[in-house]
Structures are given as structure tokens and as C-alpha cells.
Structure 1
Amino acid sequence: MEYSNHQGQPTRESSSKEILKPQTPSSDGFHLPIEITSNILSRLPVPTVLLFRLVCKAWSHLTRTDSFIQQHLENFGKKEKDYGSVYIRNDFFEYTLFYCSNGHSRSVKIDEISPEWFYISNSCHGLVCVYNQDISIVTIRIINPAIDDNFVELPDVGMTKSKVLNVCLCYDDQANNYKVVRFYCSSNGKGMGIEVLTLGDTTWRQVGEIGEIPTGFTDVAQFASGAMHWKAYGEKIFFFKTTEETFGFIESPDVDADDDDMIMRMRKQIDLTVYEGCLCFVTRHWHPWKLKFFVMEDYVHRVWIEYVIDLMKMDETPFSDINGFDRCSEYRSIKVQRGKFLLDNSPRYESSPKKKLYYYNPKTESFENCDDTQEKGYQYKESFVSASKFCNEKI
């Protein structure tokens, strides 16, 4: 029975009943505007979002759209602490591309390529390349190990049949497309040619050649300021600009101008990495307990800012039985993870202590131990960009 007052307004009793009535769910099932739902989900790791796809059809559809994939790149991709690793693993004579991040792991079997002859490129928006260096059979495959079940093989139309020196993936933010850059040995065996394939195209494009192969060109590329970077011969850094598709060399920072002999000895003791979006040059300093790193804070004017890592501030000294310079030479910077430098002290002698990894935080000038099982392989940032988007031929 419905009650009302003399003015025809509902009484408190009828109002209470109306309040207690179940409300009709919104289209996403949870009374949230779809924009807010998308914003929340786009800040979560890929494995978590995959679980949320099971909640309802609306969420499943939402997280597969191009707009959400881009939003996830922008929101989750900005979190420096959420980097994982990707590497090739041997599981009982079965080779897999293994990825781990945020407590989750996943592997994809690698077939038909001899594991002794293939390599992993840098990662770009969750995509990685697996490629070989065979002259007769040039194979380049692409995959997102976080979400893809199959590799996609890239076309070889227009590809120069020559030994591969390196392969890198890059994103052209001006054209909003992805490119694979292939560096190969020139016909004379001394120079290096460069070819580019835009993902989704069917033909490789020749973009240039240089007369000498950079000595550090087997390293994984480092992306900063719109260009890929590698160590080169002498004290130079080789770069390839992703949008303009131009390349060249830039000078490294002035490590120690007063000691040319020391620079010669340090030439193979240099690492390139990226710190807070800037190109970073790391070298072992002449001092027995110090490392130097230089951050290019102004890429246009080539301005390097120098910092020093003081190893004496460590709580533990693992090299008490080795003389001063060798103590320092044991350390190298692998990469930057979660805004911190990852330092490796791989032993060179049988009597050396077991390998250890340390994190160095430049902002607090502090060290902390690192579990090396969590830091294998190459730095990887998961995403929803699928390799199958660019090709139909799967392996």
C-alpha cells in the first residue's frame, strides 16, 4: 500500500522503500562512467587487465580497443618501477622466449631457429624481435611475449642477403608507426648498411651506409630523445633517428682529458643506458672506489652532466682480497631499473666472490642488494600492442 500526505508527497516510509530498490547497472556493470573505468584499468599491469576481461563483456571489449591500448601505453608505460625482463631460456632442450614482470611470467616456444645463432632486440612498447645472423637464411620475427602466442615473421622482400650485425625496434611518434631497423655487413666486409621496414609494409627500404662498423654494435640499442644509440669506435656514440631515418655520430663526454692512456684502457669499460629519459654514459673511473656516469640533459646542445658513484658508501665490501683498481673494474652498470642503476660485479677470477647485483639510487646516493634472478635478460615494458596487428603470417 502506498501512503501520501495531504499534499500528495510520498511519506518517509515510501521514500525509504524507493531508496532500497536495487538500481539498474550501467553498461559497464559497475555504475562507473566508461571513461573512468578505462582510466583505472589502463594503469594496471597486463596480466591484471587480462583477468579483468573475465568480469564482463563490456570490460573485455573495452580493453581490446585501439584507444585503450594507447591509453595503457601512456598511463602504465610511464611507471618506471614496473619494468620487467625478457630473455631466452633453455627448458629441457626446448628454447623459449621468457618474460617476467610484476610477479607474473610467461614463455613462448621458439621453433626452427638454431638457438646458438639468434638474438633478442631491444623492446619497444612491449614488442621484441628475435633474429639470426645467418647470411643464407635471414630470419626476423616479432612478438609481444606478454600477450602473443605466436611469432610473426617479417617479409624479406628487398632485404639485402648479408650478415646481420644488429636489429632494433623503434616507434615513430610523428607518423604513429613502428619500424624495424636492420644493420648488416657491407659487401666489402668493412662497412655497414642500414635498412628499414615499417611494420605493416612488405618491403625493406635502404636508407644508407657507413664506411666502418662501430665496435660496440652488438649491444642492445638505447632509446632517448627520438633516437637509438650504441657505443661506437673511439669515444663516439652512434645514433639513428627514428622519424627522420638519419644517422651519425656524437661525441661522448670528456671522461678524463688529462689521462689519455687511461681513456684507452677504459674504452671497453663503457656502458650506455637511459636515465629518466636521457641518454646516460657510464664508465669506470680511475679511482679504485668510484664510477662515473654522465647524463645528457640537453640533447640538442650536447650538454652532459657528470655524477659520481662512491662505492665506499656500500654497507658490504665484497672485494677485500683484490687490489684497488681491480675492485673497481669488477663493477659495471647493466641498465637502469626503476630509476636506479643496476651494478654488476661478475667475477673474473676463480677466487673471486660469487656474482652480486646492487641497486644504486642517484637521488639518495644509497645502495641496496638485488636478487639477480629478477634482473636477468633485457629490460622489458609490457603492453597490449600485438605483433599480429602488423602481419598475418604466424609461426
Structure 2
Amino acid sequence: MDSHKPYAPATLAAQALGAVDPITKAIIPAIHPSTTYVRDEDNQYRNGRVYARPHNPTFETAEELLTALEGGVASLSFASGMAAATAVFLACKPGDHILVPKVMYWSLRNWLMGAATEWGLRVELVDMTDLAAVKAAIQPGKTALIWVETPANPLWTISDLAGLAELAHGVGARLAVDSTCATPILSRPLSFGADIVMHSATKYLNGHSDVLAGMLTTGKQDDFWARVVAVRAQVGAVLGTFEAWLLQRGMRTLSIRVREACRTAQAVAEAFAEDSRVLEVMYPGLPTHTQHNLAATQMSGGFGGMLSIRLKAGEGAAIKAAARTQLWKRATSLGGVESLIEHRSSVEGPTSPVPTDLLRLSVGIEDTGDLIADLKEAIGG
């Protein structure tokens, strides 16, 4: 594959950058399980690899592909999405002021308000959809990082990436974006000024609910990125080689899976927006969504495979509806080929900002009509 040609993301993903093994001529990347590498006779490592924790060819296949998809300069894979996300915060320094969303991935929010603050980070929650609120929360000379998730799980609000990047860079801070649900097929945060993009690769990048993984992509290889690289190597939060191979295999179908999920999610959102039993449908693809126009400027080809619906009958009805579905599986996670449903506030607990009447939906690649009929029947009892 000619790296100088502007291939579409679907082409880059499907061909995994077109790599062919120079010895065997195989078109599928190999698994390299070795944990160590031979030194040169003068005790140097001219092949660039010393030990499997910081370097492994199997990791690099997925990393190079994501770098190309995101339009970045380098990527790192991790043992989970949490490992990838926390590496960014661990690369900050004790005493740094950090801004994070009020609505975000619950496990990361809990870690930030617990272990991260105990370690010395000054973490502040802010409404990332309100640029004025973010500007007011910034402490010049102290704020080191703004972390945003868009679309934000599970209310699917949209944050202005270009506006946040301008605010961050105006005080010498960095903008990091959790783009797990958008994926590089729909949005490339680096093009809007973000410094680092994070993915829970367990979700859409792998896409088959059989690998735990996380990934980071940077727009520049600066001192901060060097600290992130050191965190991964020193903490040892790396993938196993088989998991890394499964990840890159899953990424080859990323484009077709994401676009199919988007198409069905849009249809599901439109069907339940007209349902008299539904209080609200939360999906940025609906024109009624308060940030639909912003989403349209930051996302192309669809608005994601995730949405939430709120039932007029309340919490009990929502829990019972989830229990009655046949095709939608009651399980945590998202981004797989199978559709999932979850009463999210039960998972997050009493301090969750999620309405108790809300059902979170991860749309898979099943038949659209079957999914809509199954959910309508479950809500109707």
C-alpha cells in the first residue's frame, strides 16, 4: 500500500495498512510471542526492540493502523481502556489541576475522584458542553489537562472539541479526548485541536466482545507523550500478544461495523422518538437533540451506535423492559456485533447522575426491524 496516497479509513482498516510479510509473503500479520530479543554483537539493539513490555511487533500492527486512522504521529496499546486512560493522568504531576466531565465513563470517574486525588491530582468536575463553565473553571498556570468524552456515556451529550482545545492551549494545558463511541470512522479529534485521543479498544476497535484493550494516539511526540510511554513500560499495562493480534484483526472490519451500527441506531432512535411510552430519546443523530448541529460538524458518516431511552413509566418499567428483551442482551459494555441493553443507574449506584428511568442501548449489526420489534414488545410488556 502506497503510504503517500490519501486512502479512505475503510481501505486503511480493511487492509491493515497493506502490510505483507517480507519473508513468507503472508497478508495476515503474524503473532510474535517472544518476550525478549537478541542484542547485536557490540551489545546494541539496532532492531529497536529490547524487551516485550515496551516493544512487540504484534502491538505495533494495531498501533500503526490506529495512528493512520486518527491522523496522529504515534499510538500505544494497553491492557484495557482504564489502563490507557489512567496512563494519561499518571503522566501528569502531583498538584496539577485537571478538568474532567460531570458525565463520563463511570469507572474512570470513580478512579479520578478516589485514587487520582489521593495521589495528588486536583480533579474538578465540570459541564464540558458549556464552554463558559469550562473557561471559568480553568486555573491559569495550574490547569494541566482537560479531559473530555464525546459523545458522553450514557447521556450522549456533545462537547465542542475546537472550543475546548482553544481554551486548553490558551493556558498551556492539553486536551485529551475519550473518543471510544465516535471511533476514528466518525470523528478525528486531533483534527479539531486535541492533543491525545483515547479509545477503550475493548469496544468498537476490537468489536467482538472478546478482548480487553485500550489505546492512545498523540498528535505530537513531546515530553508529555514520553512520560505516557514511560508509564506503560514501567507499570507494565501491556496487552498479551494473542490479544493484540485479535485487536488488529477486529480493527479490519471497523468501518463496516460502525456504519451499520450507526444506520440501525438512527432507525431505532427515530422509531422510539414517536413512541408514546417513551419520555425521551437521547441520540445526537436526532434533529431534536440540543447539540445535533455541533455533532454534525464533528462527526461524519453517522452519529454512533449508542443511544439511551427514558420511559415515562419510570424505573420499575425500565428494569422490567430490559428483563423482557430477547435479542438485546442485558450486559455491560458496548461496541460489539451483538446489541446490549442496560439499566445504567443500577450499575453505577446511588451517586450516579443517570436518570433511573433510562435504558442504555448499544446497537449491534442484527436486523434493524428485529431489534425495534423486540424492544417495542419488551417495553409493552
Q: Structure 1 length as normaliser, TM-score? A: 0.27
Larger radius of gyration: 1
Greater relative CO (CA pairs within 8 A, separation 6+): 2
- Structure 1 or 2: larger helix share? 2
> TM-score normalized by structure 2?
0.28
